[in-house]
Structure 1
Protein backbone atom coordinates (compact mmCIF):
# COMPACT_ATOMS: atom_id res chain seq x y z
CA UNK A 1 0.00 0.00 0.00
CA UNK A 2 1.36 3.44 -0.87
CA UNK A 3 1.24 6.60 1.23
CA UNK A 4 -1.93 7.97 -0.31
CA UNK A 5 -3.81 4.76 0.44
CA UNK A 6 -2.50 4.68 4.00
CA UNK A 7 -3.53 8.26 4.54
CA UNK A 8 -6.98 7.51 3.20
CA UNK A 9 -7.48 4.56 5.56
CA UNK A 10 -6.26 5.96 8.85
CA UNK A 11 -7.32 9.17 10.48
CA UNK A 12 -4.85 8.88 13.36
CA UNK A 13 -1.11 8.34 13.16
CA UNK A 14 1.40 8.25 16.01
CA UNK A 15 4.90 9.01 14.75
CA UNK A 16 7.68 7.74 17.00
CA UNK A 17 11.28 6.60 16.83
CA UNK A 18 14.65 6.85 18.58
CA UNK A 19 16.23 10.20 19.33
CA UNK A 20 18.26 11.39 16.38
CA UNK A 21 16.05 9.80 13.72
CA UNK A 22 14.68 12.45 11.36
CA UNK A 23 10.90 12.65 11.33
CA UNK A 24 10.65 16.10 9.74
CA UNK A 25 10.00 15.02 6.12
CA UNK A 26 7.36 12.52 7.19
CA UNK A 27 5.63 15.05 9.47
CA UNK A 28 5.64 17.62 6.66
CA UNK A 29 4.11 15.07 4.30
CA UNK A 30 1.36 14.30 6.82
CA UNK A 31 0.44 18.00 7.12
CA UNK A 32 0.18 18.24 3.32
CA UNK A 33 -2.40 15.45 3.50
CA UNK A 34 -4.61 17.18 6.04
CA UNK A 35 -3.28 15.78 9.30
CA UNK A 36 -3.06 18.17 12.20
CA UNK A 37 0.21 17.58 14.05
CA UNK A 38 -0.04 17.53 17.85
CA UNK A 39 2.44 16.87 20.62
CA UNK A 40 1.63 16.47 24.28
CA UNK A 41 2.66 19.53 26.24
CA UNK A 42 4.90 19.34 29.24
CA UNK A 43 5.87 16.31 31.24
CA UNK A 44 3.88 13.14 31.72
CA UNK A 45 1.11 13.40 34.28
CA UNK A 46 2.36 11.82 37.52
CA UNK A 47 -0.80 9.80 38.24
CA UNK A 48 -2.13 9.13 34.73
CA UNK A 49 0.60 9.54 32.10
CA UNK A 50 -1.79 8.54 29.32
CA UNK A 51 -4.30 11.32 30.07
CA UNK A 52 -2.72 13.97 27.79
CA UNK A 53 -2.72 11.50 24.93
CA UNK A 54 -6.34 10.52 25.52
CA UNK A 55 -7.16 14.22 25.35
CA UNK A 56 -5.25 14.54 22.07
CA UNK A 57 -7.07 11.52 20.62
CA UNK A 58 -10.44 13.04 21.58
CA UNK A 59 -9.91 15.89 19.09
CA UNK A 60 -11.94 15.69 15.89
CA UNK A 61 -10.47 15.24 12.44
CA UNK A 62 -7.25 13.78 11.11
CA UNK A 63 -4.55 13.73 13.71
CA UNK A 64 -0.85 12.89 13.78
CA UNK A 65 0.80 12.74 17.18
CA UNK A 66 4.51 13.52 17.04
CA UNK A 67 6.11 11.54 19.82
CA UNK A 68 4.27 9.70 22.51
CA UNK A 69 4.41 7.47 25.51
CA UNK A 70 6.43 4.97 23.50
CA UNK A 71 9.41 7.29 23.99
CA UNK A 72 8.98 6.91 27.75
CA UNK A 73 8.68 3.11 27.45
CA UNK A 74 12.08 3.06 25.75
CA UNK A 75 14.05 5.88 27.30
CA UNK A 76 12.66 5.65 30.85
CA UNK A 77 14.44 2.35 31.55
CA UNK A 78 17.53 3.35 29.56
CA UNK A 79 18.00 6.70 31.31
CA UNK A 80 16.36 6.31 34.72
CA UNK A 81 16.14 2.58 35.22
CA UNK A 82 12.35 2.47 34.94
CA UNK A 83 9.48 3.75 32.85
CA UNK A 84 6.80 6.04 34.24
CA UNK A 85 4.39 4.35 31.82
CA UNK A 86 3.25 0.80 32.51
CA UNK A 87 2.71 -1.72 29.76
CA UNK A 88 -1.00 -1.80 30.62
CA UNK A 89 -1.16 1.96 30.00
CA UNK A 90 0.82 1.66 26.76
CA UNK A 91 -1.45 -1.11 25.47
CA UNK A 92 -4.49 0.96 26.42
CA UNK A 93 -3.01 3.83 24.40
CA UNK A 94 -2.39 1.55 21.40
CA UNK A 95 -5.98 0.31 21.54
CA UNK A 96 -7.25 3.91 21.70
CA UNK A 97 -5.23 4.69 18.56
CA UNK A 98 -6.68 1.63 16.79
CA UNK A 99 -10.22 2.56 17.85
CA UNK A 100 -9.67 5.96 16.25
CA UNK A 101 -8.86 4.22 12.95
CA UNK A 102 -5.18 4.77 13.55
CA UNK A 103 -1.74 3.28 13.28
CA UNK A 104 1.60 3.62 15.04
CA UNK A 105 4.47 4.66 12.76
CA UNK A 106 7.85 3.38 13.88
CA UNK A 107 10.49 5.63 12.30
CA UNK A 108 13.87 3.89 12.04
CA UNK A 109 17.29 4.61 10.56
CA UNK A 110 19.85 7.28 11.17
CA UNK A 111 20.71 6.55 14.79
CA UNK A 112 23.85 5.06 16.26
CA UNK A 113 22.05 4.16 19.49
CA UNK A 114 21.56 0.43 18.92
CA UNK A 115 20.28 -0.10 22.45
CA UNK A 116 17.42 2.38 21.94
CA UNK A 117 16.74 1.06 18.43
CA UNK A 118 16.42 -2.47 19.81
CA UNK A 119 14.15 -1.29 22.63
CA UNK A 120 11.90 0.44 20.08
CA UNK A 121 11.76 -2.76 18.02
CA UNK A 122 10.63 -4.74 21.08
CA UNK A 123 8.10 -2.08 22.11
CA UNK A 124 6.51 -1.85 18.68
CA UNK A 125 6.43 -5.63 18.34
CA UNK A 126 4.39 -5.77 21.56
CA UNK A 127 2.16 -2.83 20.64
CA UNK A 128 1.43 -4.40 17.23
CA UNK A 129 -0.81 -6.88 19.05
CA UNK A 130 -3.17 -3.98 19.81
CA UNK A 131 -2.76 -1.49 16.94
CA UNK A 132 -1.43 -1.50 13.39
CA UNK A 133 2.30 -0.73 13.27
CA UNK A 134 4.09 0.63 10.23
CA UNK A 135 7.88 0.74 10.11
CA UNK A 136 9.32 3.65 8.15
CA UNK A 137 13.06 3.64 7.43
CA UNK A 138 13.93 7.33 7.08
CA UNK A 139 17.21 6.48 5.31
CA UNK A 140 15.62 4.41 2.57
CA UNK A 141 12.46 6.37 1.98
CA UNK A 142 13.94 9.69 0.91
CA UNK A 143 10.78 11.66 0.23
CA UNK A 144 7.91 9.81 1.92
CA UNK A 145 5.60 11.23 -0.73
CA UNK A 146 7.44 9.14 -3.33
CA UNK A 147 7.37 5.64 -1.87
CA UNK A 148 9.39 2.83 -3.28
CA UNK A 149 7.19 0.29 -4.99
CA UNK A 150 7.61 -3.36 -4.39
CA UNK A 151 5.43 -6.29 -3.52
CA UNK A 152 3.06 -5.55 -0.70
CA UNK A 153 3.45 -7.73 2.37
CA UNK A 154 0.62 -10.15 3.12
CA UNK A 155 -2.23 -8.89 5.29
CA UNK A 156 -1.56 -9.08 8.98
CA UNK A 157 -4.30 -10.88 10.95
CA UNK A 158 -3.56 -8.76 14.04
CA UNK A 159 -4.81 -5.52 12.50
CA UNK A 160 -8.26 -4.49 13.52
CA UNK A 161 -9.25 -1.38 11.61
CA UNK A 162 -6.77 -1.22 8.74
CA UNK A 163 -7.13 -4.36 6.71
CA UNK A 164 -3.55 -4.51 5.41
CA UNK A 165 -0.13 -3.60 6.69
CA UNK A 166 0.52 -0.04 5.62
CA UNK A 167 3.66 0.40 3.56
CA UNK A 168 5.52 3.43 2.29
CA UNK A 169 8.80 1.92 1.32
CA UNK A 170 8.43 0.31 4.71
CA UNK A 171 8.77 -3.11 6.10
CA UNK A 172 6.22 -4.94 8.20
CA UNK A 173 7.05 -5.50 11.85
CA UNK A 174 6.46 -8.95 13.23
Structure 2
Protein backbone atom coordinates (compact mmCIF):
# COMPACT_ATOMS: atom_id res chain seq x y z
CA UNK A 1 0.00 0.00 0.00
CA UNK A 2 1.23 3.47 -0.81
CA UNK A 3 0.12 6.72 0.72
CA UNK A 4 -2.38 7.72 -1.95
CA UNK A 5 -4.05 4.30 -1.52
CA UNK A 6 -4.20 4.84 2.24
CA UNK A 7 -5.75 8.26 1.66
CA UNK A 8 -8.43 6.70 -0.54
CA UNK A 9 -9.12 3.54 1.49
CA UNK A 10 -8.56 4.41 5.15
CA UNK A 11 -10.95 5.90 7.66
CA UNK A 12 -8.10 6.32 10.14
CA UNK A 13 -4.48 7.39 9.75
CA UNK A 14 -2.06 7.59 12.65
CA UNK A 15 0.91 9.86 11.84
CA UNK A 16 4.20 9.35 13.67
CA UNK A 17 7.92 9.81 13.23
CA UNK A 18 11.02 11.21 14.95
CA UNK A 19 11.09 14.72 16.38
CA UNK A 20 11.81 17.32 13.72
CA UNK A 21 10.93 15.08 10.77
CA UNK A 22 8.04 17.20 9.49
CA UNK A 23 4.88 15.41 10.61
CA UNK A 24 2.97 18.71 10.73
CA UNK A 25 3.14 19.24 6.97
CA UNK A 26 1.71 15.80 6.28
CA UNK A 27 -0.99 16.26 8.90
CA UNK A 28 -1.95 19.58 7.27
CA UNK A 29 -2.25 17.83 3.88
CA UNK A 30 -4.56 15.21 5.35
CA UNK A 31 -7.23 17.84 6.02
CA UNK A 32 -7.42 18.42 2.25
CA UNK A 33 -8.30 14.75 1.89
CA UNK A 34 -11.24 14.95 4.29
CA UNK A 35 -9.54 13.82 7.50
CA UNK A 36 -10.35 15.48 10.81
CA UNK A 37 -7.14 15.97 12.82
CA UNK A 38 -7.23 14.67 16.40
CA UNK A 39 -4.59 14.83 19.12
CA UNK A 40 -4.74 13.49 22.61
CA UNK A 41 -5.03 16.29 25.12
CA UNK A 42 -2.36 16.56 27.76
CA UNK A 43 0.03 13.86 28.91
CA UNK A 44 -0.42 10.12 28.71
CA UNK A 45 -2.81 8.74 31.32
CA UNK A 46 -0.72 7.26 34.16
CA UNK A 47 -2.72 4.02 34.49
CA UNK A 48 -4.04 3.48 30.95
CA UNK A 49 -2.04 5.51 28.42
CA UNK A 50 -4.06 4.08 25.52
CA UNK A 51 -7.45 5.23 26.88
CA UNK A 52 -7.43 8.71 25.29
CA UNK A 53 -6.59 7.14 21.93
CA UNK A 54 -9.39 4.59 22.21
CA UNK A 55 -11.71 7.54 22.81
CA UNK A 56 -10.34 9.33 19.74
CA UNK A 57 -10.79 6.22 17.62
CA UNK A 58 -14.43 5.93 18.75
CA UNK A 59 -15.29 9.19 16.95
CA UNK A 60 -17.15 8.92 13.63
CA UNK A 61 -15.75 9.85 10.24
CA UNK A 62 -12.26 9.98 8.78
CA UNK A 63 -9.62 10.67 11.42
CA UNK A 64 -5.94 11.54 11.36
CA UNK A 65 -4.38 11.00 14.77
CA UNK A 66 -1.01 12.16 16.05
CA UNK A 67 0.69 8.94 17.17
CA UNK A 68 2.14 9.88 20.55
CA UNK A 69 1.85 6.28 21.74
CA UNK A 70 4.59 5.28 19.32
CA UNK A 71 6.57 8.40 20.25
CA UNK A 72 6.55 7.21 23.86
CA UNK A 73 7.70 3.71 22.83
CA UNK A 74 10.75 5.26 21.15
CA UNK A 75 11.64 8.29 23.26
CA UNK A 76 10.66 6.91 26.67
CA UNK A 77 13.59 4.45 26.74
CA UNK A 78 15.95 6.94 25.07
CA UNK A 79 15.20 9.81 27.48
CA UNK A 80 14.04 8.14 30.71
CA UNK A 81 15.30 4.58 30.42
CA UNK A 82 11.79 3.12 30.07
CA UNK A 83 8.52 3.61 28.24
CA UNK A 84 5.25 4.40 29.98
CA UNK A 85 3.55 2.40 27.20
CA UNK A 86 3.96 -1.37 27.13
CA UNK A 87 4.29 -3.31 23.90
CA UNK A 88 1.00 -5.04 24.66
CA UNK A 89 -0.71 -1.64 24.88
CA UNK A 90 0.95 -0.45 21.67
CA UNK A 91 -0.08 -3.61 19.80
CA UNK A 92 -3.62 -3.24 21.14
CA UNK A 93 -3.61 0.33 19.78
CA UNK A 94 -2.34 -0.88 16.38
CA UNK A 95 -5.09 -3.50 16.22
CA UNK A 96 -7.70 -0.86 17.10
CA UNK A 97 -6.40 1.27 14.22
CA UNK A 98 -6.62 -1.70 11.83
CA UNK A 99 -10.15 -2.54 13.01
CA UNK A 100 -11.17 1.03 12.17
CA UNK A 101 -9.96 0.50 8.57
CA UNK A 102 -6.81 2.44 9.34
CA UNK A 103 -3.09 2.56 8.78
CA UNK A 104 -0.09 3.97 10.59
CA UNK A 105 2.01 6.48 8.65
CA UNK A 106 5.73 6.30 9.49
CA UNK A 107 7.16 9.71 8.57
CA UNK A 108 10.90 9.58 7.85
CA UNK A 109 13.64 11.91 6.56
CA UNK A 110 15.08 15.17 7.80
CA UNK A 111 16.34 14.06 11.22
CA UNK A 112 19.86 13.76 12.59
CA UNK A 113 18.80 11.54 15.51
CA UNK A 114 20.02 8.17 14.24
CA UNK A 115 19.27 6.39 17.51
CA UNK A 116 15.62 7.49 17.37
CA UNK A 117 15.35 6.62 13.66
CA UNK A 118 16.60 3.08 14.36
CA UNK A 119 14.19 2.73 17.29
CA UNK A 120 11.29 3.93 15.11
CA UNK A 121 12.21 1.43 12.39
CA UNK A 122 12.17 -1.39 14.96
CA UNK A 123 8.85 -0.20 16.43
CA UNK A 124 7.17 0.05 13.03
CA UNK A 125 8.42 -3.39 11.98
CA UNK A 126 6.70 -4.80 15.07
CA UNK A 127 3.52 -2.73 14.66
CA UNK A 128 3.26 -3.77 10.99
CA UNK A 129 2.37 -7.26 12.21
CA UNK A 130 -0.88 -5.81 13.62
CA UNK A 131 -1.79 -2.86 11.39
CA UNK A 132 -0.90 -1.59 7.91
CA UNK A 133 2.16 0.68 7.95
CA UNK A 134 3.00 3.18 5.20
CA UNK A 135 6.40 4.89 5.28
CA UNK A 136 6.36 8.47 4.03
CA UNK A 137 9.69 10.22 3.37
CA UNK A 138 8.94 13.86 4.18
CA UNK A 139 12.31 14.93 2.77
CA UNK A 140 11.71 13.52 -0.72
CA UNK A 141 7.96 13.79 -1.15
CA UNK A 142 5.92 16.45 -2.84
CA UNK A 143 2.16 15.98 -2.78
CA UNK A 144 1.24 13.05 -0.57
CA UNK A 145 1.45 9.79 -2.44
CA UNK A 146 3.05 10.83 -5.73
CA UNK A 147 5.39 7.83 -5.99
CA UNK A 148 6.42 4.76 -4.08
CA UNK A 149 8.97 2.02 -3.83
CA UNK A 150 8.99 -1.00 -1.52
CA UNK A 151 11.12 -1.07 1.61
CA UNK A 152 10.38 -4.51 3.07
CA UNK A 153 8.89 -6.26 0.06
CA UNK A 154 6.22 -5.96 -2.59
CA UNK A 155 2.82 -4.41 -2.05
CA UNK A 156 0.58 -6.75 -0.09
CA UNK A 157 -1.78 -8.79 -2.26
CA UNK A 158 -4.63 -8.81 0.22
CA UNK A 159 -7.94 -7.23 -0.82
CA UNK A 160 -8.86 -6.08 2.68
CA UNK A 161 -6.88 -3.18 4.08
CA UNK A 162 -6.85 -4.38 7.66
CA UNK A 163 -4.98 -7.54 6.67
CA UNK A 164 -2.11 -5.74 4.91
CA UNK A 165 1.12 -5.69 6.89
CA UNK A 166 3.95 -4.69 4.55
CA UNK A 167 5.73 -1.36 4.83
CA UNK A 168 6.19 0.80 1.75
CA UNK A 169 7.80 4.17 1.28
CA UNK A 170 6.83 7.25 -0.67
CA UNK A 171 9.80 8.88 -2.30
**TM beyond 0.5:** yes
1:162 deviates by: 5.1
Equivalent residues of 1:94, 1:130 under 8 A apart = yes
What is the SS of the residue equivalent to 2:136? strand
1:52 deviates by: 0.4
Question: Which deviates the most, 122-131 or 4-13?
Answer: 4-13
1:142 deviates by: 2.6
1:66 deviates by: 1.6
Q: CA RMSD in A?
A: 3.2
Change (3 A) 1:53 1:150: closer
Change (3 A) 1:77 1:151: closer
Give the structure-2-normalised TM-score: 0.86
Counterpart residue number, 1:108: 108
Question: Which deviates the most, 77-86 or 19-28?
Answer: 19-28
1:3 deviates by: 4.3
What is the SS of the residue equivalent to 1:150? coil
Equivalent residues of 2:152, 2:167 under 8 A apart = no
| Structure 2 gap ranges (5+) | none
1:4 deviates by: 4.0
Equivalent residues of 1:57, 1:100 under 8 A apart = yes
The Cα offsets for residues 69-109 of structure 1, whole Å up to 9 and x where unpaired, read as: 00000000000000000000000000000000000000000
| Structure 1 gap ranges (5+) | 170-174
CA distance in 2, matches of 1:44, 1:101: 24
Change (3 A) 1:151 1:127: closer
Change (3 A) 1:157 1:72: farther
Equivalent residues of 1:9, 1:162 under 8 A apart = no
Equivalent residues of 2:40, 2:53 under 8 A apart = yes
1:167 deviates by: 5.7
CA distance in 1, matches of 2:151, 2:74: 29
Change (3 A) 1:156 1:45: same
Change (3 A) 1:158 1:8: closer
Change (3 A) 1:2 1:75: closer
1:29 deviates by: 1.5
Q: How many correspondences in the alignment?
A: 167
The Cα offsets for residues 101-133 of structure 1, whole Å up to 9 and x where unpaired, read as: 000000000000000000000000000000000
